[in-house]
Amino acid sequence: MQQLHFNEQQRNMKPGMCNKFMHAVIDPDFLQGEHGSEVLSKLNELSLKYEIKRQQFPRVVTFYRANAQTLTVQGAVTAKTTPLKFIVHLMTGQELVLHVKEGTLRSIVDRLTTLYPGTVLSLLVFGLVSYCRSNRNCVGRKETETALTEVQLFNKCSYQLLDTAEEVGNFVAQLGKSLAELPYKQQQYDKYCQEQLYLGNEKKGCVRVEGSAGLHQLYQNQLVKIPSVSLEVAEAIISVYPSLSQLMDGFRFAADGPNLLADIPIRRAGGPVTTSIRRIGPEMSKKIYLLYSSLESSQEL
């Protein structure tokens, strides 16, 4: 019975399944305006549940996770909820301008963090650009950026400037989705750290590597990710340097590293080398050389 319960927990934790256990509690004032229907629509699209309930502060959204019901040995059904330490507050562009002029933006954020202690606050500013366009006496851009930077630095509050109703809906829904998937991603992170694995193969398109099996395919996939490197070019490189370590050694010990691959012939579609020989060329060779040997983080290929 315990094993069945564990298996069910693991299944409910996976992306897609976990969404149905995530609940957004939305203050009614948050839905006032054109963005309200977008918020509910986006939540429904991702199968996220929501409740419309008056919050401690206007236009706030909180989240909680409803754990799946379990059957105890005594036959009782148990279920509990876990509140999450993430909240969203919606502010109009007009309100932001007023708070910046009066110097009260930080006091608003302070009040929110007092009412919701220990939470991570996301401030959504909706319609700032359109409001400033229609009001010439708007506050300056420098003053606005300074006020927003202050709440970032001193209150650990992130902010988003959103201009459309769809953007508001997408933000709330995507945050809910991310929170729903958080336990699964944390579990995968802990697993990889414990097993010292740094390349996961949980998603479609990943290459499974077990021992030495799969390394050739992984090497080939890595090469074709380089812009302008086709499958034929990758196969030509691999025919001369069968592994990434051999390619790195070639670059390291070659007298002319940037041109190491320039004269390697390319077989068209896996066929034989014809009389009209196509080669990798110096430009492509230099690009690959820089990718694998440059220590400059801002190096342009």
Task: Indicate the residue type of 85.
Answer: K
Any idea which residue has 């502010």 for tokens?
Answer: 91
| 184 or 197, higher pLDDT | 184
In whole angstroms, give the CA distance from residue 109 to residue 103. Answer: 12
Beta-sheet pairing, 49-52 with 60-66? unpaired
Mean pLDDT of the region 188-205: 66
Q: Which pLDDT score, from 0 to 100, does residue 5 have?
A: 63
**Residue 41 CB neighbours (<10 A):** 13
3-state secondary structure of 132: helix
With 90 as the cut, is the pLDDT of residue 193 above it?
A: no
Taking the CA atoms of 145, 148, 152 and 157 in sequence, report the sign of the dihedral they define.
negative
Contact present, 173 and 179 (Cβ < 8 Å): no
Query: Confidence band (pLDDT; 50, 70, 90) for 192?
Result: confident
pLDDT per residue over 126-149, tens digit each?
Answer: 999 999 988 877 888 899 999 999
Q: Which pLDDT score, from 0 to 100, does residue 8 have?
A: 73
In whole angstroms, give the CA distance from residue 102 to residue 87. Answer: 25
Residue 155's Cα: distance from chain center in Å? 23
Task: Indicate the residue type of 160.
Answer: Q
Query: Confidence band (pLDDT; 50, 70, 90) for 217?
Result: confident
With 80 as the cut, is the pLDDT of residue 218 above it?
A: yes
Q: Which pLDDT score, from 0 to 100, does residue 136 have?
A: 79
**Residue 191 CB neighbours (<10 A):** 11
Residue 65's Cα: distance from chain center in Å? 20
pTM: 0.67
Give which of 224, 228, 199 is closest to 214, Cα–Cα: 199
CA dihedral 225, 230, 236, 239 (to 10 degrees): 40
DSSP code, position 263: T
DSSP code, position 179: H
Q: Which pLDDT score, from 0 to 100, does residue 190 have?
A: 84
Contact present, 236 and 269 (Cβ < 8 Å): no
In whole angstroms, give the CA distance from residue 264 to residue 231. Answer: 14
Strands (DSSP E) contained in 158-270 are: 158-162, 265-266
Instruction: State the DSSP H helix or E strand holding residue 189, giving kind and residue range, or none if neither.
Output: helix 165-195
Residue 237's Cα: distance from chain center in Å? 33
Q: Per the structure block, which two tokens stand in for 64?
A: 């909680």
Any idea which residue has 């109009």 for tokens?
Answer: 92
Q: Per the structure block, which two tokens stand in for 273?
A: 């080398």
Q: What is the mean pLDDT of the chain?
A: 87
Contact present, 214 and 208 (Cβ < 8 Å): yes
In whole angstroms, give the CA distance from residue 215 to residue 208. Answer: 9
pLDDT per residue over 16-68, tens digit each?
Answer: 889 999 999 999 999 999 999 999 999 999 999 999 999 999 999 999 999 86
In whole angstroms, give the CA distance from residue 250 to residue 177. Answer: 46
Give which of 51, 42, 44 is closest to 23, Cα–Cα: 51
Q: Per the structure block, which two tokens stand in for 2?
A: 């315990």
Q: Which pLDDT score, from 0 to 100, does residue 201 have?
A: 55
Q: Which pLDDT score, from 0 to 100, does residue 25 have?
A: 97
